[in-house]
Structure 1
Amino acid sequence: MLLTPELVALTLRDVLDDGPEPGWTPLSEAELDCLVDRIEREVGGEPIWVFAYGSLIWNPEFKPTARMRASAYGWHRSFSLRIERWRATSEQPGLMMALERGGRCDGVVLRLSEERRRQDLRALVAREIKYHEVADMVRWVRVQTPEGMKNALTFWASTRRSGLTKPLPIPTTAELIANACGQGGSCAQYLHNTIVDLEAEGIRDRNLWHLQALVAERIKAKQAA
């Protein structure tokens, strides 16, 4: 991989927390509880599986009771979520991944603990869905697993485009990823970590593999300038 840890380190810098994403309304505690209630009603007494295709693979922030490979058909990863916070700033916006319609996305499913289900689910939703305008970005998808088809909860997957960019040329995408950094780290770090953990699962995403090479070129060029 051309996007080495050494190159990723060059993209990291100290950035202060500038508050919520501009133009978005933080989700209230009541709205968060309603969203969690809805998910629990929809799943009933069945276990909750979460489909991870990006940072949830390498940083779920909960302890799953089971984990396995899974494929979501009719969806694909895309760096189409424009951000100005967390791994970016308003001065240097960045991109993170969402699921877009079409194709196939290989990832993993993680099962929530029954003992901590409500607690872990609420923390997970609070992490992924921070704003009122994007509350529809949590949904159920059908995934193929070694145990057959399952319904899995996933985030940033919708036919609406709340917070999403229009399709960007890959050179533009690479430029934004190479330069963006916020208090949560850099977009290049996010890309690198995702590829490394996908590879550990035996998954090679050709689009991400191509993208990391372009990002590496841009980081090198910036350092040489």
Structure 2
Amino acid sequence: MLHRTLQEWGGHEDMWIFGYGSLIWRPDFDYAERRLALVHGWHRALKMWSRINRGTPERPGLVFGMLSGGSCRGVVFRIPRHEGAAVLERLWGREMVTAVYDPRWVPCQTPQGPVRALAFTLSRKSPSHTGVLTEAEYRRIFEEAQGIYGTTLDYAHRTLEELRRHNIRDRHLEKLLKLAGR
């Protein structure tokens, strides 16, 4: 998949990466520019099982995936062309360890004009997709799930804080985090 993604990019222009979750607050790569962005046809959803980073096999946690439908506000990062392949390889090591995402190039609207960016999307057919979770299941996960990078609750809070810092409203995430406070 990495080879295919690099081929689809082509290497003839700067690379753009779309962040909708932890990439916004912890990109782990240098970038030349960051812009707010809107993607149509996809939305941010806390519906991907995490059995390592934010949970364990016995008590899985959750991380964000981008599911089809709706729209998603986030951030795009511009990587200079000559650094694109190396950045993508490092990013692959972080995002694609278990190969659960479907990387795809999506059109993004930014205040400075449209860009085509790589986004890590999630198929509803993936075994890592949670399907529908009840409020009680979200509360239990927020209370119990912890992995090598911390808790699902901290991850969700940190993402919401960073979204707010960029004046991005995510009502669904706000509603989910209110469950944790009950």
Q: TM-score, normalised by structure 2?
A: 0.91
Q: Is the 8 A contact 1:49 1:151 kept in 2?
A: yes
**SS of aligned partner of 2:179:** helix
**1:173 equivalent in structure 2:** 138
- Output the CA distance in 1 between the equivalents of 2:38 and 2:132: 23
**2:8 equivalent in structure 1:** 42
Identify which of 82, 104, 120 aligns with 2:71: 104
TM-superposed deviation, 1:115: 3.6
Mind listing any 5+ residue stretches in structure 1 that lack a counterpart? 1-34, 218-225
- Output the CA distance in 1 between the equivalents of 2:119 and 2:64: 12
Opposite residue 99 of structure 1, the aligned amino acid is M
- Output the CA distance in 2 between the equivalents of 1:47 and 1:115: 8
153-162 or 116-125, which deviates more: 153-162
Which structure features the higher share of helix residues?
A: 1
- Output the CA distance in 2 between the equivalents of 1:64 and 1:202: 21
Q: Is the 8 A contact 1:95 1:173 kept in 2?
A: no
**1:19 equivalent in structure 2:** none
Are residue 86 (structure 1) and residue 53 (structure 2) matched? yes
Change in CA separation of 1:186 and 1:208 when aligned onto 2, cut-off 3 Å: same
Which structure features the higher share of strand residues?
A: 2
Opposite residue 86 of structure 2, the aligned amino acid is Q
**SS of aligned partner of 1:190:** helix
Identify which of 9, 20, 26 aligns with 1:59: 26
**SS of aligned partner of 2:77:** strand
Identity of aligned residues (%): 36
Residues 1-225 of structure 1 mapped to structure 2, 5 A cutoff: 35-44=1-10, 45-132=12-99, 134=100, 137-158=102-123, 160-217=125-182
Question: Displaced runs of 4+ in structure 1, greater than 6 A?
Answer: none
TM-superposed deviation, 1:207: 0.6
1:35-69 per-residue CA deviation (whole Å, 9 max, x = no partner) reads 33322221221221111000000000001111000
Change in CA separation of 1:160 and 1:88 when aligned onto 2, cut-off 3 Å: same
RMSD over equivalenced CA pairs, Å: 1.6
TM-superposed deviation, 1:113: 2.9
Q: Is the 8 A contact 2:13 2:81 kept in 1?
A: no
Q: Is the 8 A contact 1:77 1:98 kept in 2?
A: yes
**SS of aligned partner of 2:59:** coil
Mind listing any 5+ residue stretches in structure 2 that lack a counterpart? none
- Output the CA distance in 1 between the equivalents of 2:123 and 2:33: 26
**1:220 equivalent in structure 2:** none
Q: Is the 8 A contact 1:79 1:173 kept in 2?
A: no
Q: Is the 8 A contact 2:138 2:179 kept in 1?
A: no
